[in-house]
């Protein structure tokens, strides 16, 4: 592997103009494809294999012309204090609104609250239901404007009017996530490298990779069903891994130049060593993302495919475009003191700005290298000091790490999964205010009714069979009311709505749905009718259960494949086991933090969480898939340097110290960049987006700064040489990939010209 990548980098360095032109041509081609492509499809809520989806499909079949997920607006009217919506003036305002909307485009039906008995017992609240002939995504601006104008007229009459449902669903406030992530990444890179060129190169290549990936996803959106959500996830991951992969190659290039290698050979050695780690780290990410297909959710499968393609593009750019760009500016990424052209000296004394600039430059240069102070004392890099501390006290560090992460993971045992709805939106949105008004006027369960689809094809008396089902549903504890049945034209299917006594996101509602389905055999036997439970509330419950059931198989597939890959990379059994255990600790702690903040509400105000509730159903799967791949990045980059030192003859404890000397700082910088990219998405207004950003950022923190920096060196120190044991049979069966670049070291030993000048060694290395 390392020899092949060494040749690739040599070629890319020599043919740098060709390489750059090819990547620019690829970007132009996919951009043209994206411009001329059809509009990307919207996110599909289809989820095969669950009862709620089957009932939705049945509704579409038996009630043609009205889609089960068609657009609907629920206009909520609240009278002023001491008044009632049934008063003459308020009733007139409500009727006027219903009449205005009924004549609007795309409206199928507008039902007055006074005709549908949709007035609360105290007459303080009422609601009108507006049904459209199309889905919310296909509503025209004219339809939305007509509804908005009618609402404003009712408000002018003195009523408080809010609109729930999907017709006027507000877009979440856009944050500055991507911009903030790039700015923080630039600052981290500048501090790490002390060079604008070295900091800018990873950013440039990451933006190139994200641009190619997003354009490709857009171009293939119509053909492969890639929605905008696929592009958003790909952009988030592409920025993170693209910066990190280029960062590792550039760092190794600077190290090889500091050893005395010429630019072309240094670039080739960097790609042959750090590039090998990039390849296998990228493969672990791809495995984790493609593993989303085992969940059985088409949307997740498409997200995994799109994101995996983005990661592959990032790997290819790091292996080809980075050495090519280094060929154009071989010395620009080096510290100023190591460049071939010395800085022109000035006779005059530098001003205040110059003195401050020099202080900053010296600080960034000296951050991770051993220097001699004027007093003659050596300042050891922080990574080395920390590694020595851990290897001297491995039992204490390991115990503290496991206990601490285990304690953080305890809240995850009470994880409740669901799909937060309007109750999770900010109170500044009309959907949230409509939700609260309905809950106050009609009870918390009113916002989450259960739709029951009753089939009566084989019944002697269809009407009596449906009535029997409705009566038995009304007798179940937890059901407040059951609506009159609504039959289709063929009179073989009816729909009834059952209102729970508890909110749609509560555990009691989940138990109620389970109870209804448990009692179904007895009800069907007594009435001769068959029924299924669906609706948004039941759908969210079913999705959460399906995700929970898929989590263990997904973990088994992803961890199993990655275990085999890491066994090939490190030629060890215990090192992959240690990597998997460390990952489980970090994910458990991250899930515990998510439950603490977003489900239990502790510290929620700090992150702008206005309402607690269940954790988004797809969150654990996303967390496991994405973070597993990213965690293995740090595993490969850190442990490969430790193994490199070990196979070159160092004792296990010293090999850990050497590995940290070369890679601790750059892994820390990479983790900070990841956290910045993910944490930037918390600036948006959508609670679910905040949850994703918080979960991924916290998981990266736990994995990079706790597991990889404390758990890993402590375990390796305790295992000693046993960490690298591999049975003879496996040693013969497994292919040799030479991630450490041992073959390159034998072929191209470091020049001896400037040996001994350790003070000129590079500050950041992989």
Pairing of strands 417-418, 615-616: parallel
pLDDT at 759 over 50: no
pLDDT at 744 over 70: no
For the segment 575-634, what is each residue's pLDDT rounded down to a tens digit?
A: 888 888 888 899 899 999 999 988 888 877 776 666 677 788 878 887 887 777 777 777
What pLDDT, on a 0 to 100 scale, did the predictor assign at position 552?
Answer: 81
pLDDT at 395 over 80: yes
- Other C-beta atoms lying within 10 Å of the C-beta of residue 173: 13
Mean pLDDT for 272-288 is 83
pLDDT at 512 over 90: yes
620 and 547 in contact (C-beta within 8 Å)? yes
Sign of torsion over alpha carbons 364, 365, 370, 376: negative
pLDDT band at 762 (very low <50, low <70, confident <90, very high): very low
CA–CA separation, 131 and 522 (whole Å): 35
Start-to-end CA distance of the chain, whole Å, equals 18
Look over the chain and give the mean of its residue pLDDT values, rounded to a whole number. 80
Q: Which is higher by pLDDT, 105 or 710? A: 710
CA atoms within 13 A on the CB side of 265: 14
What pLDDT, on a 0 to 100 scale, did the predictor assign at position 45?
Answer: 54
- Looking at the chain, the whole-number percentage of residues with pLDDT higher than 90 is 16
pLDDT band at 763 (very low <50, low <70, confident <90, very high): very low
**Which pTM was predicted?**
0.76
CA–CA separation, 157 and 79 (whole Å): 11
The answer for residues whose C-beta is within 8 angstroms of residue 119's C-beta and 6 or more apart is: 85, 86, 113, 125, 126
């Amino acid at each position: 592997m390392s020899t092949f990548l060494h040749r690739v980098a040599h070629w890319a360095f020599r043919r740098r103009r060709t390489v750059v032109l090819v990547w620019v041509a690829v970007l132009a081609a996919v951009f043209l494809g994206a411009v001329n492509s059809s509009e990307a499809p919207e996110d599909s809520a289809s989820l095969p294999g669950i009862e709620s989806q089957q009932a939705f499909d049945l509704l579409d079949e038996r009630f043609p012309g009205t889609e089960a997920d068609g657009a609907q607006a629920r206009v909520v009217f609240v009278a002023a204090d001491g008044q009632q919506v049934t008063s003459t003036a308020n009733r007139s305002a409500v009727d006027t609104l219903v009449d205005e909307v009924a004549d609007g485009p795309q409206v199928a039906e507008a039902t007055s609250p006074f005709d549908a008995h949709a007035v609360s017992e105290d007459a303080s609240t009422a609601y009108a239901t507006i049904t459209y002939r199309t889905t919310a995504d296909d509503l025209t601006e004219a339809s939305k404007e007509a509804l908005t104008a009618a609402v404003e007229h009712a408000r002018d009459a003195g009523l408080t009017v809010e609109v729930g449902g999907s017709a006027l669903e507000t877009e979440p406030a856009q944050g500055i996530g991507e911009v903030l992530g790039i700015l923080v990444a630039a600052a981290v890179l500048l501090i790490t490298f002390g060079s604008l060129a070295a900091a800018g190169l990873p950013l440039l290549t990451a933006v190139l990779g994200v641009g190619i990936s997003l354009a490709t996803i857009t171009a293939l959106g119509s053909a492969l069903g890639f929605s905008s959500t696929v592009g958003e996830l790909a952009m988030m991951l592409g920025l993170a891994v693209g910066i990190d992969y280029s960062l590792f190659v550039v760092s190794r290039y600077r190290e090889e130049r500091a050893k005395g290698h010429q630019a072309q050979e240094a670039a080739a050695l960097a790609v042959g060593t750090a590039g090998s780690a990039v390849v296998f780290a990228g493969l672990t990410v791809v495995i984790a993302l493609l593993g989303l297909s085992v969940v059985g959710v088409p949307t997740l499968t498409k997200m995994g495919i799109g994101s995996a393609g983005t990661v592959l593009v990032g790997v290819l750019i790091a292996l080809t475009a980075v050495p090519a760009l280094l060929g154009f500016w071989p010395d620009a990424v080096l510290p100023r003191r190591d460049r071939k052209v010395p800085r022109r000296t000035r006779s005059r004394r530098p001003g205040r700005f110059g003195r401050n600039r020099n202080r900053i430059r010296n600080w960034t240069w000296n951050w991770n290298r051993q220097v001699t102070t004027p007093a003659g004392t050596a300042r050891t890099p922080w990574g080395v000091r920390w590694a020595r501390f851990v290897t001297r006290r491995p039992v204490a560090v390991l115990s503290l790490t496991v206990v601490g992460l285990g304690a953080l993971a305890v809240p995850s045992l009470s994880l409740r999964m669901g799909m937060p709805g309007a109750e999770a939106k900010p109170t500044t949105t009309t959907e949230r205010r409509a939700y609260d008004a309905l809950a106050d006027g009609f009870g918390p369960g009113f916002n989450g009714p259960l739709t029951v689809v009753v089939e009566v094809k084989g019944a002697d008396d269809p009407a009596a069979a449906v009535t029997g089902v409705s009566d038995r549903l009304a007798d179940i504890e937890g059901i407040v009311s059951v609506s009159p049945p609504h039959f289709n034209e063929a009179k073989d299917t009816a729909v009834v709505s059952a209102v729970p006594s508890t909110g749609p996101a509560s555990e009691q509602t989940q138990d109620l749905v389970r109870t209804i389905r448990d009692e179904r055999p007895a009800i069907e036997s007594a009435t001769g009718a068959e029924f299924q439970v669906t609706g948004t509330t039941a759908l969210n419950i079913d999705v959460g259960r399906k995700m929970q059931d898929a989590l263990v198989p997904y973990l088994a597939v992803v961890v199993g494949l990655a275990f085999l890959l890491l066994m090939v990379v490190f030629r060890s059994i215990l090192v992959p086991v240690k990597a998997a255990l460390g990952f489980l600790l970090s994910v458990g702690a991250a899930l515990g933090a998510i439950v603490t903040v977003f489900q239990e509400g502790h510290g929620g105000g700090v992150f702008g969480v206005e309402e607690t509730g269940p954790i988004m159903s797809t969150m654990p799967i996303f967390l496991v898939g994405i973070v597993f791949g990213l965690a293995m990045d740090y595993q490969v980059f850190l442990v490969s340097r430790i193994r490199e030192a070990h196979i070159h003859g160092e004792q296990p404890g010293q090999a850990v110290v050497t590995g940290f000397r070369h890679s601790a700082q750059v892994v820390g910088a990479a983790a900070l960049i990841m956290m910045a990219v993910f944490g930037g998405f918390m600036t948006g207004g959508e609670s679910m987006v905040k949850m994703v950003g918080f979960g991924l950022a916290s998981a990266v923190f736990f994995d990079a700064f706790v597991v990889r920096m404390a758990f890993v060196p402590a375990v390796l120190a305790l295992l000693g040489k046993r960490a690298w044991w591999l049975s003879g049979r496996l040693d013969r069966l497994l292919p040799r990939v030479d991630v450490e670049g041992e073959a390159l070291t034998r072929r191209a030993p470091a020049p001896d010209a400037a040996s001994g000048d350790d003070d000129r060694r590079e500050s950041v290395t992989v």
